[in-house]
Structure 1
Amino acid sequence: MELDNRSVQILQAVASTVKISSKELLEKYALTRNQLDYAVKKINEYLRGNQYPPIIRSRNGSFIVDTKVVDAFSGIMNNESQLKADETSYLDEEHRLLVILLLIFSADYLSLYHFSESLEVSKNTIISDIKKLKQQLRKYKLTIDYSRKEGYYFRGNEEIIRGLILGVTDQVMESIYNRVIFEKYLSVASVEVNHQRDVLQQVEAELHVQYTDNRIQTAPYFLVLLNRRVQNRHYIEQRFGLLAKEIMDTNEYAAIVKVLAGQKKLPKSYTEHLYLCLYMLSLKITDLSNTFSLNTDALRKQIEAFITVLEKNTIIQLNDKTQLIENLALHLTPAYYRIRYGLTSDYTITDMVKHQLDPLFFIVKSSIAPLEEFFEERIPNDEIYLITMFIGAYMQKEKPINLDNTVVKAAVVCPNGIISSKLLENTLDNWFPMIHFVSSFSIREFYEKERELDVQLIFSTNPLETQLPVIVVGNDLSSMNKTLIVNEVIQLIYKIDSYKLQPDHILAIVKKHLPMDTEIEEKIRKELMISYNSIFQIQDQEVLTNEMKLNLADVVNAESILILDEALDWPQVLRLTTENLIERGIVEPGYLAQLEAQFPEVTPSILLGNRIVIPHTVPEHGARSLGMCFAKITQGFVSQNQRYYYVVVISATDRKQHIQPMMQLLKIASDPKIIERLDQAKNKQAILAIIEESKKK
């Protein structure tokens, strides 16, 4: 028997997640209890039919999954999974809607009869599907219309329609039904796809770039569908104006036109071939020639300015900034064309990931002005979220390479571009101090350099054909299950079946013989996890999020607030505020001397929102714990011919705990209305009330 897509997703979720409850599955997939019960029954029939142990649901609603099922069906152990769709597979509603969208995008004439026959469902089902699609498309200001002459067609902005084609194509490519949908339902022949892939590879050669693996796989399908739309006389409106000349004068434009003309693929309309060229320029790349027409030196300078502002707003000094700038330049070069010319982004960030990133995202967005100055456009939030993910992982890269302590050398293989590759590499590097990560590669780069690699282990988002041991990890950080990856690493390096050493496994044995309440159980689990991580040198830290979820109100209390009414100068203010931290044991006495040496005057590097002065230094200069002293100087003080009224001296001991408090402090510093309320505050309680409110915003 075959599983429908919903059952596939549930099976992979249960197999990939060590602790997932029925309630979480109900919420994640918007199911009723009956629907979940039916899906689990269907999954177990499938498992038994393929000689796998069934999934058992415990009394508390969690699932017990045999390790054989984990190995075979989790998205971590086997990213492609053993679940494949064939031409007889029944499409669920979600994928049927995608097919209807793509058919309307690309077909010449479609009636209810065409849909009903090809999708093998009733006309009433198609009518219901189209009604749902119309509701979904309202946010794009698009609608699906029908006429006897034209059949079903889209009405709306052609650029938005093409952006949807790109997004839907990516959705289909990520599905187990991708081959069935493209070949059976859309009649996309492999010869068409291969021809478009050849064109892209010729463009790579002409531009001296290398597209990411996922783009070189999915872009040909988009180009086939785009070509059909143009053949059906759906043309893009002329909108580039003076910007067109900027593009047409570049070497990249000439190179792409040369390839397209040589292949007799150049559209007759200049706006169409301009759109096609822009699309190719906007594709993510893994390698970039120094001869690219875009002024990458100017871009690097603006990236450097962005990093300077970011360091001030996060009070973190980033290491190896040269490499960080190069990696961001590699990502932002194609992003320039997406942003500058309003093209649709070729990736999506899930709402869950966005929620996790919110504190750091706010700080990155507040620091992004130098890049927007270069692009001469506002940078979309999805682009900023991707930069935030990379910065977040990079900020955690604190582990010095000590080859004497490393057990093996490893490489990372990722098809999704430089930002995703480095994000994954930095994450794994932080998790595993015993592994020395030599580099990250695209799939094509890996196969080209495989024989030269001096590594004993590969981490990859896709299965690879290689003699080296490969640990397949999730493609999206939010779906990576650290426990499963850690188990496999331990098995490969130490030759130990670590499933039996897991704290939860040990606790389950203990609880059989010794009842315990929830509080005691959690304390024991925590101590077991600390011991487990220590034995196997596993870092137990979150990569992007503030694990403790501290707020500014948790760091600034009545003891840490000073209201200074007398006339003071900057050295006096700095001494009084820092002594508050010294007296409370948050910093060592030498912290003051360091701040006095670093900041004889107030400089832009310690100004938050041009309102609040935030003197701070690196933890090595005497920071004992996270803390702040918030001072209001009633009469103000003058430094560099500028008067200031607020100083917050900060002590930070790592790169993550203070991120959320800093976000909230930045919001205060950036909001004139809040500053006005602080100006009117007469006592500590009034200031504390304002700070308390900051965590609600």
Structure 2
Amino acid sequence: MLEKRSLNTFYQLMKLQPTQLTSFMDKINLTEHQFQYDVEKVNSFLYKVGVTPINISGDRIIIGQEVIDYWKENGAGFVANQFSFEQEERVIIFLLYTFIRHEPLSNFHFQHLFGVSKNTVSSDVKRVNNFCADFRVEVRYSRVHGYHLKGTEEDKRNLMLKAISTLKIKSYAHEKFTFIFQQQQLQNQYDNYQQVLKDFEQQYSFAFTEDRLDEFIYLLQMVHIRQQQHKRVQIYPDTVSFLENQQAFLVSTLIQRRLGYTTNREEVAFLTIQLLGICQGEVSPVRTDALFAITEQIIVNFERYACIQLLDRNKAMETLYLHFKPAYYRMLFKIPITNVLLNDIKEEHRDLFIVVKEVLKPIEQMLNIKVPEDEVGFLTLHFGGLLKMDSDSSLKLFRALIVCPNGISSSLMLENQLKSLFPQFKWTSSFSSYDFQHLADTEYDLVFSTVVLETKKPLFIIRPIMSEMEKKELIQTVEGLTLQQSYHNPTSDELIKIIRQYADIKQPELLKNALQQALFKNDYLNIGRKQPVLKDLLIEENIQFIDEIRDWKDAIKAVAEPLLLNDSITNQYVDVMIENVVTMGPYIIIGEQVAIPHARPEFGVKKLGMSLLKLSEPTYLLGEEQNKVEIFICLAAIDNQTHLKALAQLTTLLSDPEKLELLKKAEKKEDILNLVVEFSEL
């Protein structure tokens, strides 16, 4: 039996099939000694099963076709037999295995499948039902049917998609899916299905999101098994009629024919729904598209709630449309997704996440849908990328490209992070790993990727959301490699590689974090400005109480007065705030009788500031009754991001009905400051 690291080395060798030793060791972060040890263990195993071993000659790795064929045939079962499945994996595999069963399943089936006791299986069944709860599906047992799923076919399939997306992020996911199929005497036809879908993608100019496509391929195989068992989905006739008018319905019909399965209208309609949820919108959408109008409204809401004005609104709308169109269909038809980055997004971009949630509330009401946090997370990444779009540089030395299979929002966020860190490079738009495999290495000099790839060029493996420490270390590594700095500090990975030669590392991640702190704790590579909290900006001298101001223009002048006095803004900024309302309407109203007048930084902002004016009697923007405002909050932002923490705290305050009422009833500065301090701690 192979040890965990040796098995992983074998897995990576089979996945990448590398030819160059040193570059491969760098990619999987192993020393030469560790790699030699792992290869000896792998070759010892191959010798026992009668397969020609892997050969290392100088800096070359020679993998015979016999080894590759062995892995293709036995890899899934081999991996499964090497590892015991963790609890969450057993829950997921239990569901998928039951979904495609061809015979009644007893407790013994799962004892044998997982190598666990009868009591463990019974406990797992309870966990499975907890996982199923939100999908109106339940696992039941009877002597006649054994373990089976109770619920509608549509709910079962949506549950399976959630299960697939959860398992897909686990290590050796493809092998585990193959294992599930093999245990039912079936083949994993992933490659065949992928090729068929890619053919239709090219023929009909679709653009699949790579991560979603992977999930869809596994689901489609399982749905086809269900179709062969005559287990059909039921979809409302009106929904089927709507879907029949989509081009995706034609493509779905052709896919079914090509793969040899039913073209029943409801089954094709189900497939159409899935395609709509994984196909990105057109690059140049037609302006009459209702979804484009909704996208435009989201951009307007974002500018309003984030108190910014995007320089290239058309570009912003087109890129957002690419993401929002499939997201809209996922939400409309309740197609579940798993955003593996969600916790990172909520931690690294907490303030922006709060603002985006607020931005989407009017859309939720308009469409009568609930936006899941997984989707909010992806939209947060998207808007984070939009905020950084403006930076560029004329010096372009290296051709750099990005490979990110996580979808357009993650790609956009990553692309803009990297462009801001390395503006001197000539950047190519993000590639899927599938498209990268067909790209000549003469087309680029550097690769930044979220997954391991086979390439002869320098490859930097990064997370879609990088911490400040990771950004600083990446700058050191890249600039050292590209000789853009005279001295190259060692990176944490380089130090760990040295340490491993002389010591066993029991907690490598903790050691890596500690090394990053030691190497990059100084502020000379600081990325971005410190973000002040609400109480830092909305201070006592910036708060005013006035009984009545009849002219709304005078109200904006009044709320801006403290910022003029402390030299945060110029008179031009006040004039532009008023002009914006005249030309763009009452967009500054963000809540019940609350307005936040603002303009772009270049129109007279000297430093970040915020002021508040409370009126006893309301004034009316543009003289219209429906635009009643009692509270004005003037924001002077120096860029698109530094004010976001304070703004997110203010948004949270204004979104709380009880706190908003207290703000409206405030009679002295202390009442307002108490609220400001309370929400500055969030």
TM over 0.5: yes
CA separation of 1:112 and 1:676: change in aligned 2, threshold 3 A: closer
Q: Would the aligned equivalents of 2:403 and 2:448 in 1 still touch at CA under 8 Å? A: yes
Match of 1:150 among 133, 138, 145: 145
1:501-538 CA distance string (max 9 Å, x none)? 89x99xxxxxxxxxxxxxxx9xx98997333x3xxxxx
What is the distance in 2 between the residues matched to 1:115 and 1:92? 12
1:273-297 CA distance string (max 9 Å, x none)? 3212221232244x8487x9x9873
Per the alignment, in what secondary structure is the counterpart of residue 474 of structure 1? coil
1:514 corresponding residue in structure 2: none
Q: Please give the root-mean-square deviation of Cα atoms over the aligned residues, in Å.
A: 4.0
Alignment of 1:446-457 (within 5 A): 446-450=436-440, 453=443, 455-457=444-446
1:552 corresponding residue in structure 2: 534
Aligned-pair CA distance for 1:370: 6.7
Match of 1:338 among 330, 333, 346: 330
1:570 corresponding residue in structure 2: 552
Does structure 1 residue 246 correspond to structure 2 residue 242? yes
2:92 corresponding residue in structure 1: 98
What is the distance in 2 between the residues matched to 1:168 and 1:625? 50
Aligned-pair CA distance for 1:146: 1.3
1:27-69 CA distance string (max 9 Å, x none)? xxxxxxxxxxxxxxxxxx99996599xxxxxxxxxxxxxxxxx
1:80 corresponding residue in structure 2: none
Q: Would the aligned equivalents of 1:582 and 1:589 in 2 still touch at CA under 8 Å? A: yes
What is the distance in 2 between the residues matched to 1:565 and 1:375? 40
What is the distance in 1 between the residues matched to 2:583 and 2:320? 33
Match of 1:656 among 623, 635, 641: 641
1:230-286 CA distance string (max 9 Å, x none)? 3345433x2434122111133321232133234421254x3223212221232244x
What is the distance in 1 between the residues matched to 2:283 and 2:635? 43
Q: Would the aligned equivalents of 1:588 and 1:622 in 2 still touch at CA under 8 Å? A: yes
Extract unaligned runs of 5+ from structure 2.
9-32, 41-74, 496-513
Per the alignment, in what secondary structure is the counterpart of residue 686 of structure 1? helix
CA separation of 1:445 and 1:668: change in aligned 2, threshold 3 A: same
Q: Would the aligned equivalents of 1:570 and 1:601 in 2 still touch at CA under 8 Å? A: no
Q: One-letter code of the match for 2:217?
A: P
What is the distance in 2 between the residues matched to 1:258 and 1:50? 47
Alignment of 1:112-261 (within 5 A): 112-187=107-182, 192-236=189-233, 238-261=234-257
Aligned-pair CA distance for 1:330: 1.7
What is the distance in 2 between the residues matched to 1:358 and 1:374? 25
CA separation of 1:357 and 1:296: change in aligned 2, threshold 3 A: farther
Q: Would the aligned equivalents of 1:296 and 1:329 in 2 still touch at CA under 8 Å? A: no
| TM-score normalised per structure 2 | 0.77
2:428 corresponding residue in structure 1: 438
1:188-215 CA distance string (max 9 Å, x none)? 7556333322432343245321323334
1:266 corresponding residue in structure 2: 262
What is the distance in 2 between the residues matched to 1:474 and 1:147? 46
1:69 corresponding residue in structure 2: none
What is the distance in 1 between the residues matched to 2:487 and 2:118? 54
1:100-148 CA distance string (max 9 Å, x none)? 2221121122112222223333333323332333344345443322112
Aligned-pair CA distance for 1:580: 1.1
Q: Would the aligned equivalents of 2:345 and 2:353 in 1 still touch at CA under 8 Å? A: no
What is the distance in 2 between the residues matched to 1:586 and 1:527? 33
Match of 1:412 among 373, 394, 402: 402
Aligned-pair CA distance for 1:180: 3.8
Per the alignment, in what secondary structure is the counterpart of residue 608 of structure 1? strand
Alignment of 1:469-548 (within 5 A): 469-475=458-464, 481-494=470-483, 498-500=488-490, 529-531=522-524, 533=525, 540-541=527-528, 548=531
Q: Would the aligned equivalents of 1:296 and 1:333 in 2 still touch at CA under 8 Å? A: no
Alignment of 1:285-304 (within 5 A): 285=280, 288=282, 297-304=289-296
What is the distance in 1 between the residues matched to 2:125 and 2:3? 25
Per the alignment, in what secondary structure is the counterpart of residue 605 of structure 1? coil
Per the alignment, in what secondary structure is the counterpart of residue 655 of structure 1? coil
CA separation of 1:568 and 1:134: change in aligned 2, threshold 3 A: closer
Alignment of 1:361-372 (within 5 A): 361-368=353-360
Q: One-letter code of the match for 2:610?
A: M
Aligned-pair CA distance for 1:150: 0.9
Q: Would the aligned equivalents of 2:339 and 2:378 in 1 still touch at CA under 8 Å? A: no
1:608 corresponding residue in structure 2: 590
1:48-98 CA distance string (max 9 Å, x none)? 96599xxxxxxxxxxxxxxxxxxxxxxxxxxxxxx9973531223233333
What is the distance in 2 between the residues matched to 1:562 and 1:696? 23
Aligned-pair CA distance for 1:483: 4.4
Q: One-letter code of the match for 2:435?
A: E
| TM-score normalised per structure 1 | 0.75
Identical columns (%): 25
Q: Would the aligned equivalents of 2:166 and 2:338 in 1 still touch at CA under 8 Å? A: no
1:394 corresponding residue in structure 2: 386
Extract unaligned runs of 5+ from structure 1.
9-44, 53-82, 506-520, 534-538
Count of aligned positions = 597
CA separation of 1:391 and 1:296: change in aligned 2, threshold 3 A: farther
Does structure 1 residue 633 correspond to structure 2 residue 628? no
Q: Would the aligned equivalents of 1:199 and 1:260 in 2 still touch at CA under 8 Å? A: no
Per the alignment, in what secondary structure is the counterpart of residue 604 of structure 1? coil
Q: One-letter code of the match for 1:298?
A: A
Alignment of 1:16-95 (within 5 A): 50=38, 86-94=79-87, 95=89
What is the distance in 1 between the residues matched to 2:533 and 2:274? 43
Q: Would the aligned equivalents of 2:141 and 2:148 in 1 still touch at CA under 8 Å? A: yes
What is the distance in 2 between the residues matched to 1:555 and 1:204? 51
1:545-583 CA distance string (max 9 Å, x none)? xx63x4323321211111123655334433333231122
Q: Would the aligned equivalents of 1:611 and 1:669 in 2 still touch at CA under 8 Å? A: no
Per the alignment, in what secondary structure is the counterpart of residue 306 of structure 1? helix
What is the distance in 2 between the residues matched to 1:597 and 1:590? 10
1:77 corresponding residue in structure 2: none
CA separation of 1:296 and 1:336: change in aligned 2, threshold 3 A: farther
What is the distance in 2 between the residues matched to 1:466 and 1:576? 61
Q: Would the aligned equivalents of 1:601 and 1:639 in 2 still touch at CA under 8 Å? A: no
Q: Would the aligned equivalents of 2:355 and 2:648 in 1 still touch at CA under 8 Å? A: yes
Q: Would the aligned equivalents of 1:199 and 1:259 in 2 still touch at CA under 8 Å? A: yes
1:441-497 CA distance string (max 9 Å, x none)? 2234334453673x4212122233333322222256579933443343123212777
Match of 1:581 among 548, 553, 563: 563
